[in-house]
């Protein structure tokens, strides 16, 4: 019974990481859409405004959510997923969770580098898709491990 709980936690964590990646995309685009409207209405976003602490448009919180989620929540979930994978005893779980954690580390690195190298923003977006797919793959391992082999799928024994 305890092993089943660990497997369930592993699956939930992996799906939660995929959901968090979707939240990241939504938050970033929410900010960008708000910035577009703000500038279209004559607003100016420069260093002075950014450092003032003012909230020039509500969608700025999309950037806050994206930053906090990406720097703290997702890395913590990925680390917990890896730890949980050792006890889940699902075939391939440790490798899948390790891949998720690696992609998260790369994602944080690309995000930080994007402030100095704008092309890293594109790499950050592509890596997000890879991370989303890896998290879904990790979550689906449990389901794949539970499918029993059918008699037809087993090779015939030759005497």
Task: In whole angstroms, give the CA distance from residue 59 to residue 62.
Answer: 5
Report pLDDT for 50.
Answer: 85
CA-CA distances (angstroms) from residue 45 to 31, 52, 65, 85, 134? 12, 11, 19, 44, 36
Report pLDDT for 143.
Answer: 58
Query: In degrees rounded to 5, what are phi and psi of residue 70?
Result: -75, -30
Report pLDDT for 71.
Answer: 97
Domain coordinates of the chain in residue numbers?
2-47+54-144
Report pLDDT for 147.
Answer: 52
Report pLDDT for 10.
Answer: 96
Total-model pTM: 0.86
Contacts of residue 23, defined as CB under 8 A and 6 or more positions apart, other chains included, come to 65, 69
Report pLDDT for 118.
Answer: 94
CA-only gyration radius of the chain, Å = 21
Which helix (H) or strand (E) is 109 found in, with range? Answer: helix 93-113
Tell which residue, 85, 69, 71, 63, has the closest CA to residue 22: 69
Per-residue tens of pLDDT for the chain, all 159 residues: 688 999 999 999 999 999 999 999 999 999 999 999 999 999 999 989 989 989 999 999 999 999 999 999 999 999 999 999 999 999 999 999 999 999 999 999 999 999 899 999 999 999 999 999 999 999 999 656 555 555 555 555 554
Report pLDDT for 3.
Answer: 84
């Amino acid at each position: 019974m305890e092993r089943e709980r660990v497997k369930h936690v592993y699956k939930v964590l992996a799906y939660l990481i995929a959901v968090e990646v979707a939240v990241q995309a939504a938050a970033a685009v929410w900010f960008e859409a708000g910035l577009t409207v703000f500038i279209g209405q004559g607003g100016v976003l420069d260093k002075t405004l950014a450092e003032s602490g003012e909230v020039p448009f509500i969608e700025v919180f999309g950037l806050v959510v994206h930053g906090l989620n990406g720097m703290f929540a997702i890395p913590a979930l990925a680390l917990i997923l890896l730890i949980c994978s050792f006890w889940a005893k699902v075939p391939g779980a440790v490798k899948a969770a390790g891949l998720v954690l690696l992609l998260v580390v790369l994602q944080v690195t690309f995000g930080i580098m994007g402030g100095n190298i704008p092309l890293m923003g594109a790499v950050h977006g592509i890596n997000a898709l890879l991370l989303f797919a890896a998290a879904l793959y990790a979550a689906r391992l449990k389901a794949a491990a539970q499918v029993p082999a059918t008699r037809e799928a087993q090779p015939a024994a030759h005497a």
